[in-house]
Chains A and B, each alone.
Chain A
Amino acid sequence: MTAHPNRLHESAARLPAGRPRRAAAGGVSPAGLLALALIGLAALALPLVADSYLLHSCIVVLFFAYMATAWNFVCGYVGQLSIGHAMFAGVGGYATVLLFTGLGLSPWLGLPVGGLLAAALSVVVGYPTFRLRGPYFALTTIAFAEMIRIWVENTESVLGIPVNGAAGLTVPLAGESLAALQFNGKAPYYYLIVALLAGALAATWALERSKLGFYLKAIRGDRDAAESLGISPARYQLVALAISAFMTGIGGGFYAQFFRYVNAERLIGVDLSIDMALMSIIGGQGTVFGPLLGAVLLAPLAEITRGTLGGSFLGLHLVVYGIILMLAVLYLPKGLIAPLRAVLARLARRGGAR
């Protein structure tokens, strides 16, 4: 590639012939692929050895990892903060349940339909706010999400559709049924969330190399410069937000099927929105694996503080989050994944030198 005949200019001749080839240029190194394959195999084999409690905990962690990855798809790459992503999960979750109870539609279809509805909502939120500069997007997302949560909590039914207010909706028990996406064991749910997470990570990996990914990073870098290079910030941010909301909506549908229950406080509440954002930011936003890392570290931590200390101090996990966030911003502004990457890069280089 370095010895290309149609160089623009003679200055090419003065360059050393072998500019070091970049690992990032084409894709993943063989060692990286091998590591990914091993991790994937281990993940797939886990239900064979884990007990029900461990498997349940793993599903919860992977659910948060998936949600944080979906959040990161737009917010991490474009540098906008959404504190209302739970509204998309809420739309997906409620839609999946209501389509099943009302129309008998299988959740296998309910999940993508819920995702599409969430994407539609995201366009309503994003269309007016992405035109503006500054914190309007963050403010609008939190306002919209809280509006929807409060409305759902105080509405028994709308147009004959039972929303059931603060009590929430239960998914009617269908027993072991593939069509109804209900299983007695945990393993099928585990495989489903692993597949969803793998899909979200693959989408993010593809994003990094795509036109959309470059455009989002450009908008994050400097909006004026991005505009002068042919980028309409409102348009591309909206496309990314819709994809992110679609993935988040599917996550909400998964939540509904796994717990067989949805309510506004848990699924649309600001807690979930903050979880998604913080896991992403602390893990390393704008990277493929950062949100996954953040979820693996923070989700169990939240569970522990909530379980052992939360009884007496409501919201203690948020205090813990806050402290970790401050430390991360101060000492690892690029997220916990940054030092990890440096170590991996050093290992790869040593491996390459051999």
Chain B
Amino acid sequence: MNAPLLDVRGIGKRFGGVHAVRDLSFRLEQGEILALLGPNGAGKTTAFNMIAGFFRPDGGEILFRGRDIARLRPWDICKAGIARTFQLSKPFADLTVVENLMVGGFARSSDTAAIRERAEEIADFLGMGRQADTEVQHLTAFDRRKLELGRALSTRPVLLLMDEVVAGATPAEGQEMVALVRRIRDRGITILIVEHVMKVVMALSERVIVMESGRLIADGAPKDVVSRPEVLKAYFGEQYAAARA
């Protein structure tokens, strides 16, 4: 068996007295869509930010294509081939859509004309070709989320980390987003998503992992995992899980 694309080994993070993530280990295979679930405060976003380089793990290692990337800074993580989106989209408001999509291109190339052309292709891919020259501050919230995704793609990632794909989207927009994520995976990009909306998780992922209180409590196919007592307990409390069992 080949080595996994991403191999998280025993990472932990403590904020003062709060142990946000403890001894978290999981693997991500090439071409997979893996969903990271868990109730609020389970440590999902902390784990996410450690992989993306925004937090330094207190211990453990994160092997990406066999190389330890734990404790690298975000810009070096990007250059290693990992892109991320943010829970609240963070567009460059006074730049146009295409300019937003050009920034990431410079991490891989210095040919401005080629970077612009690729940015226009990504705008078309997102279905935002008509808005290519619109300043981002005039876009709708959902278009900004799509742009956030496109901007991550502009760095030509091998692995894409997505924090809450459909937060605040209408059901129709959610469906569009799910389709978009699938098409990204079909282009050979491996995806790790942190997500609350079960419908999205079921539609997208082949495998889910569940965190609670900083620990991993389940790992498996979405259908199986959501009916496990420890997962139900984490989401709905002891009594609900007992009643179901």
B-binding residues in A (CB < 8 A): 1, 4, 7-9, 11-12, 15-16, 19-20, 22, 25, 209-211, 214-215, 217-218, 220-222, 224-232
How far apart are the CA atoms of A214 and B78 in the complex, in Å? 17
Which residues of B (147-162) have their CB < 8 Å from a CB of A? 151-152, 154-155
The contact of B103 among A12, A25, A226, by CB within 8 Å, is A226
How does the 8 Å CB contact mask read for B67-99 relative to A, with 1 for contact and 0 for none? Answer: 000000111001100011010001111110001
> B127 in the interface, Cβ–Cβ < 8 Å?
yes
How far apart are the CA atoms of A321 and B110 in the complex, in Å? 41
The segment from B129-137, B190-198, B201-209 found at the interface with A is B129-137
Pairwise interchain contact A214-B74, C-beta atoms closer than 8 A: no
The segment from B12-20, B118-126, B220-228 found at the interface with A is B118-126
**CB-CB < 8 A to A225: which residues of B?**
86, 90-92, 151
Given contacts A15-B129, A230-B155, contact A7 B124 (CB under 8 A): yes
Shortest CB–CB separation between residue B191 and chain A, in angstroms? 16
**CB-CB < 8 A to B122: which residues of A?**
8
A/B interface sample: 26 pairs, CB < 8 A: A1-B117, A8-B122, A11-B124, A12-B129, A217-B95, A217-B99, A217-B103, A218-B92, A221-B91, A221-B94, A221-B95, A222-B92, A225-B90, A225-B92, A225-B151, A227-B53, A227-B54, A227-B73, A227-B75, A228-B52, A228-B83, A229-B75, A229-B78, A229-B104, A231-B103, A232-B75
Closest 10 CB pairs of A and B: A221-B92, A230-B107, A230-B78, A227-B74, A225-B90, A229-B104, A222-B90, A211-B106, A12-B124, A8-B121
How far apart are the CA atoms of A230 and B54 in the complex, in Å? 12
How far apart are the CA atoms of A230 and B157 in the complex, in Å? 11
**CB-CB < 8 A to B84: which residues of A?**
228
Shortest CB–CB separation between residue A284 and chain B, in angstroms? 12
How far apart are the CA atoms of A352 and B59 in the complex, in Å? 63
Shortest CB–CB separation between residue B105 and chain A, in angstroms? 9
Q: Give the B interface residue count (CB, 8 A).
A: 43
Given contacts A209-B112, A217-B92, A221-B95, contact A4 B75 (CB under 8 A): no
> B138 in the interface, Cβ–Cβ < 8 Å?
no
How far apart are the CA atoms of A214 and B106 in the complex, in Å? 9
How far apart are the CA atoms of A215 and B75 in the complex, in Å? 12
Given contacts A214-B103, A224-B54, A230-B106, contact A19 B132 (CB under 8 A): yes
- Further pairs besides A9-B121, A211-B110, A229-B75: 14, Cβ < 8 Å: A7-B124, A8-B125, A9-B125, A11-B125, A15-B130, A217-B95, A217-B99, A220-B92, A227-B73, A228-B74, A228-B84, A229-B104, A229-B155, A232-B73
> B199 in the interface, Cβ–Cβ < 8 Å?
no
Pairwise interchain contact A224-B79, C-beta atoms closer than 8 A: no
Of all chain B residues, which has the CB nearest A21?
A: B133
**CB-CB < 8 A to B75: which residues of A?**
227, 229-232
> B102 in the interface, Cβ–Cβ < 8 Å?
yes
> B185 in the interface, Cβ–Cβ < 8 Å?
no
> B183 in the interface, Cβ–Cβ < 8 Å?
yes
The contact of A22 among B110, B124, B133, by CB within 8 Å, is B133
Shortest CB–CB separation between residue B154 and chain A, in angstroms? 7
How far apart are the CA atoms of A221 and B94 in the complex, in Å? 7
Pairwise interchain contact A25-B54, C-beta atoms closer than 8 A: no
